Structure 1
Amino acid sequence: MYKLGCTFQDQGKHAEAEETLQQVTKGHQRVYGQEHSNTLTSLFHLAAVFYLTGRSLKAEEIYRGVLKVVERLYG
C-alpha cells in the first residue's frame, strides 16, 4: 500500500495519497515501531503530502520529528 500512496502523490491525487499513507504509517508504527526505517519513510512521504496541500506547519513538525530520530539513530 505504501507504493500506492506514493503513486497517488505522484499523480497529484493528494487526498487519496494522504489517506493511504496515514493507513500505512499507522500500520508501520504498530508492526515495526516508531523508529523503524519503514515507519520513518512513510512519515516522510506523509509530510510531503501535507506540504503539497499547503499544510507546511504540519509537514515541518513531521519532518523535524523524523530528522530527530534519524540523527539520534544514525548520527
Structure 2
Amino acid sequence: MANLASTYRNQGRWKKAEELEVQVIETRKRVLGEEHPDTLISMNNLAFTFKSQSRNDEAISLLKTCLQLQKQILGPQHPDTESSLKSLNEWQIENIVIGP
C-alpha cells in the first residue's frame, strides 16, 4: 500500500495518495506502534502529500508532530530527522513569505 501511495504521489494523484497514506499510517500504528520508524516515514509522506496540495497548515502541523517523534525515537542526528527539520524550516519560511 505504501508503495502504491508513493506511485500515486509521484503521478500527482494527490487524493488517491492521501487515501492510501492514511490507511498505511493507521495500519502501521496498530501493528507496529505510533513510534515505529516505518510509521514515522508514513507520517512524513502524508505531510508531503498535504504540501503538494497546498494544504500548508496541515502539512506543517503533521511534519512538526513527525519531527518531534523522530527526535525522540531516532535522535536529532538521524538522516530522517535532519531531512524533516530542513523541510519544516523551508515550509515555515515559505508560509510566512507567501502566506497560507
Decide: shared fold, TM above 0.5. yes
CA RMSD of aligned residues (A): 0.7
Unaligned runs of 5+ in 1: none
Distance 2:68 2:6 in 1: 23
**TM-score, normalised with respect to structure 2:** 0.72
User: Size of the alignment, in residue pairs?
Assistant: 75
Distance 1:43 1:72 in 2: 15
What residue number does 2:35 align with? 35
Q: Indicate the structure whose relative CO is greater, using CA pairs within 8 Å and at least 6 residues apart.
A: 1
- The amino acid that maps onto 2:30 is R
Cα distance, 1:34 vs. partner?
0.7
Distance 1:54 1:9 in 2: 14
Percent identity between matched residues is 32
Cα distance, 1:50 vs. partner?
0.5
- Give 1:14-33 correspondences, 5 Å limit: 14-33=14-33
